[in-house]
Chain A
Amino acid sequence: AQKVTQAQTEISVVEKEDVTLDCVYETRDTTYYLFWYKQPPSGELVFLIRRNSFDEQNEISGRYSWNFQKSTSSFNFTITASQVVDSAVYFCALSEAVRGDMRFGAGTRLTVKP
């Protein structure tokens, strides 16, 4: 069975601090895909990144970076020099190759204070 755990329910930081959002997953499949989505206060879901299980290279996109470690079944997300506009709920999700659906974690609410 697939499962995604985001242990941090809420995180609060001050602007310009770095923050890491944790994501741990469980799956029996060898081929799977991991995602991060952002849900700002307006409510829409914004796609951030997709990773397949065979690609363990870390990814950096501007102030965002992702650390994928199969050995610990983790796919953590770091925001460097956080900004108020980063305030949102962030969801980690898992999709197995044989299924179409995504299993979402409960989300981490990030608040960045000025």
Chain B
Amino acid sequence: NAGVMQNPRHLVRRRGQEARLRCSPMKGHSHVYWYRQLPEEGLKFMVYLQKENIIDESGMPKERFSAEFPKEGPSILRIQQVVRGDSAAYFCASSGGPTDTQYFGPGTRLTVL
């Protein structure tokens, strides 16, 4: 399967813990995007990365959230000290270029107890 992969598919955390979400882009894609979907809402852009660079993080909360896309390995979205309001589906997408079609992974559903 050469599609975008995300893991874990489901993640349960207690308030105050850390959540790490991983995304492996489609083969040949070097652009990765993270989006958040709150229940019954549309997707909201969080951050856009290329290998080793954050291109646009205008949609990401300034505190507790960080993202990286290292030279080797998957992109990581990290949420520190999670709160109930962080419960959502987090989708990763990848593309071959900034204006190319973005293909989405299956998402990680984060539940904060």
Contact B42 A35 (CB under 8 A): no
Residue of B31, B33, B59, B102 with highest tally of chain A CB at under 10 A: B102
Q: Which residues of A contact B93 (CB under 8 A)?
A: 45
* Bound CA span A41–B7, Å: 19
Number of B interface residues at 8 Å Cβ cutoff, please give it. 26
Interface of B is mostly: strand
State whether the Cβ of B12 lies closer than 8 Å to any Cβ in chain A.
no
Q: Which residues of B contact A105 (CB under 8 A)?
A: 42
* Bound CA span A26–B42, Å: 17
Contact A102 B107 (CB under 8 A): no
State whether the Cβ of B48 lies closer than 8 Å to any Cβ in chain A.
yes
The number of A-B residue pairs with CB atoms under 8 Å apart is 58
Known contacts A100-B31, A100-B55: A91-B104 contact under CB 8 Å: no
State whether the Cβ of B1 lies closer than 8 Å to any Cβ in chain A.
no
Contact B56 A99 (CB under 8 A): yes
Q: Which residues of A contact B106 (CB under 8 A)?
A: 43-44
Which A-chain residue is minimally distant from B45 (CB atoms)? A101
Tell me, rounded to whole Å, the shortest Cβ–Cβ distance linking A29 to chain B: 11
Q: Mark B60-71, 1 if CB is under 8 A from A, else 0.
A: 000000000000
| A interface bracket (residues with beta carbon within 8 Å of B) | 20 to 34
Chain B residues 45 to 87 lying within 8 A of chain A, measured CB to CB, are 45, 48, 55-56, 58-59
Tell me, rounded to whole Å, the shortest Cβ–Cβ distance linking A4 to chain B: 8
* Bound CA span A104–B43, Å: 6
Q: Which residues of B contact A50 (CB under 8 A)?
A: 101
By a beta-carbon cutoff of 8 Å, the part of chain B in contact with chain A is 31, 33, 35, 41-45, 48, 55-56, 58-59, 89, 91, 93, 95, 98-99, 101-104, 106-107, 109
By a beta-carbon cutoff of 8 Å, the part of chain A in contact with chain B is 33, 35, 37, 43-45, 47, 50, 91, 93, 95, 97, 99-107
